[in-house]
Chain A
Amino acid sequence: MSIAFKPEETFRGDYSYRNSDAAILRFPFPFPEDKYMYSVNIEPHVRSGPSDVFLRPFDVDEHYIAECRDRAITLERDPGRCQVLPHMMLAQWDTLELLMENLSADYPEHFSLVKEGDDFGSRWTWTNRPLGIEQSFIFGDAATLPCEPFEYITRQAQGDFAICDQRDDNLYMDAGMVTSQADWSLEFDVGMSFMEWHGPVPLAHQTGVFERALKYLLMLRLGQPVRRLNWTMTINPRLDTSPESFPEWGTDRASVTPDNAGRKVHLRVELQTLWRLPRSNAILFPIRCYLASLDDLARVPKWGARLHRVLSTLPPQLVEYKGLTRYLPAALEWLARHDDGRELPVGTEAGVSTLG
């Protein structure tokens, strides 16, 4: 599959990030109904779904090169965005193998992996054409890569990654590459348990969402990954909305008006997948982030109208937690123009094949 990359676009400064029409149509819109509330929305990560982003286990799109560059900029300024506790070395190799195998199998034009064997100690050669990388190394020997295996491969992947070690009937966030997060800090969370790092989330603990999700994840099987969608909103197409860089983006929230909301306000959807890793028995948690402006979304009539309804009925605790309070009225005023009140079909599909 050939992808027309947009290597020059930016996620900071002049924010030149834009979605092509095709990228808008495949956007993983997260709202099947007019209301939203937290639930254990986990399903098998099969190669199909209402959007093309589900066709391959690790989706690569037109923003690939630009996203990898944005990650490199963030890491340069703050190397602490990648952290791996020492006992996670097997999980690092598991992650590298999983990503290299899937990317090379699903995108042979862009990536290739040649192995002399499968075991630790074998020579592997990895080619990443979009980023112009060719690397020969010994699988299992970190000294043969320019950096540790987890950092190496996640610098060449879209989306954030966490690895959870499983022990004591719990999950611990013992590794992460986190440069495009929705306002949470790896530095703060690293080493925490499932309930600890989910501590700040409102309402979901009380309804047992996290208790059930954890029990389910502890039994997650090799070969049977699962997925869920999570979402928030971001002003400007910015990937790095971390607490660490808050001074750079926090004040943008005050810049939204009913007139510029279409351009400034972005829906930020995370396609989260969960993978049992084979050697380490850890769980890999890739968080693949998709950004679309209200302008983009309103070109799909169903999505513009539905977003208006979801946001106008969102529980106040979620508005507050997701940081929408300041600009929600302006965004709603803008969206109201795209909602004629007619009944919308259940489901997330765009329902159109070309954009208005």
Chain B
Amino acid sequence: MIGDTLLLQVAAVTDIAPGLRHLRLVAADGGKLPPAAAGAHVQFVLEGAARTWRNAYSLVSRPGARDAWEIIVRRVPTSRGGSAFIHEQIKVGDRLVAGWPGNLFAPVRIARHHLMIAGGIGITPFLSYLAEFGFTGAGHALHVCCREGEKDVFGPWLGNSPAVAFHWDADGHRLDIPALLASQPAGTHLYVCGPAAMNDEVMAAAAAAGWPASHVHCEHFGSALSGGDPFRAFLARSGIEVDVAEDESLLDAIERAGVAAPCLCRGGACGVCVTPLLEGEAEHRDHFLSAEERAAGRLIMPCVSRARAGRLVLDL
């Protein structure tokens, strides 16, 4: 079990709801895929006509599955374009390159109880959590905040589990986060994955209720991926000037220019892409740099962060 990239083939494409597309992918050579864990994601290389995207998606296949991987992709209106590509272009039989699974959001196995809160498509990592907890028997509950009409979309993954509850924006159906947190048994670990505003609200409520940080986990990647104003960056060591378009990341633009930059999560979480910033002011969107490092202004995470104004000069 050694390798870093795989060639996959699209085995099935299903639109499970408006704007939600489910892909089933198998190894193009007909062999077995490496097994992956609850919370794992895979980075896909999406070769569009004019450009290439590298997007990471949570696997929603059974943990340990080796016959096929499954992902659910929401079409993001302001996305970098990768999700639009999947919704418009991908068809059965297409081949795409993917990395081996990574995992920045694994369940904590010493937890006495697992409390999961999902917002919309943020449910995806928890679909594999549910499968694992179903197997190991670990105590768990999943609260999903979504539109009322989206309740049934994930039915095939949820079964009739009594541990899953839905909440939506109507009187009597909203999730009372402080009340939920207050009713948890000691030793519970809390996981949240959803829009940034929801993540922040849950994290703040947990902090206010005195939860130790070690028991609160947030899936960041995927939440900070939307683009922004276009800008230019100069790669000082390579002597190359790159234009970063509004729908791509600085890292995408660097790679498009043919410069190999280290990266792993592509979501501002892992720290692998950290790059010295020689000039310019960054708009930091990562979850890696400390407040002091941001204030010092000497480092940037090109996978998510952009220019606040004008041009950046990177030591790359």
Cβ of A7 < 8 Å from any Cβ of B? Answer: no
Interface string of A77-114 (1 = CB under 8 A from B): 00000000001111000000110011000000000000
- CB contact between A118 and one of B1, B2, B32, B264 (< 8 Å): that residue: B32
Interface string of B29-40 (1 = CB under 8 A from A): 000101111110
User: Which residues of A are found within 8 Å of B37, using beta-carbon distances?
Assistant: 90, 278-281
Contact A167 B110 (CB under 8 A): yes
Distance A223 CA – B6 CA, assembled complex (angstroms): 11
Contact count band on B: 20 to 34
Cβ of B279 < 8 Å from any Cβ of A? Answer: no
Interface of A is mostly: loop
User: Which residues of B are found within 8 Å of A221, using beta-carbon distances?
Assistant: 4, 100, 102, 264
Distance A119 CA – B136 CA, assembled complex (angstroms): 14
Binding site for A on B (CB under 8 A): 1-4, 32, 34-39, 62-67, 100-103, 106, 108-110, 132, 135-136, 214, 264, 270-272
User: Which residues of B are found within 8 Å of A90, using beta-carbon distances?
Assistant: 37, 109, 132, 136
User: Which residues of A are found within 8 Å of B102, using beta-carbon distances?
Assistant: 221-222
State how many residues of chain A have any CB contact under 8 Å with chain B.
31
Closest-by-CB residue of B relative to A169 is B214
Contact B270 A278 (CB under 8 A): no
Interface string of A214-225 (1 = CB under 8 A from B): 010001011111
User: Which residues of B are found within 8 Å of A219, using beta-carbon distances?
Assistant: 264, 270-272
User: Which residues of A are found within 8 Å of B100, using beta-carbon distances?
Assistant: 221-224
Closest-by-CB residue of B relative to A275 is B1
User: Which residues of B are found within 8 Å of A45, using beta-carbon distances?
Assistant: 2
Distance A193 CA – B2 CA, assembled complex (angstroms): 27
Cβ of A70 < 8 Å from any Cβ of B? Answer: no
User: Which residues of A are found within 8 Å of B135, using beta-carbon distances?
Assistant: 120, 140
Distance A45 CA – B4 CA, assembled complex (angstroms): 13
Contact B39 A281 (CB under 8 A): yes
Distance A12 CA – B37 CA, assembled complex (angstroms): 42
User: Which residues of A are found within 8 Å of B271, using beta-carbon distances?
Assistant: 215, 219
Contact A223 B2 (CB under 8 A): yes
Within 8 A of B (CB), among A50-74: 57
Distance A168 CA – B3 CA, assembled complex (angstroms): 27
Closest-by-CB residue of B relative to A45 is B2
Contact A224 B64 (CB under 8 A): no
User: Which residues of B are found within 8 Å of A166, using beta-carbon distances?
Assistant: 106
Distance A278 CA – B277 CA, assembled complex (angstroms): 35
Interface string of A182-217 (1 = CB under 8 A from B): 000000000000000000000000000000000100
Contact A98 B4 (CB under 8 A): no
User: Which residues of B are found within 8 Å of A281, using beta-carbon distances?
Assistant: 37, 39, 103, 106
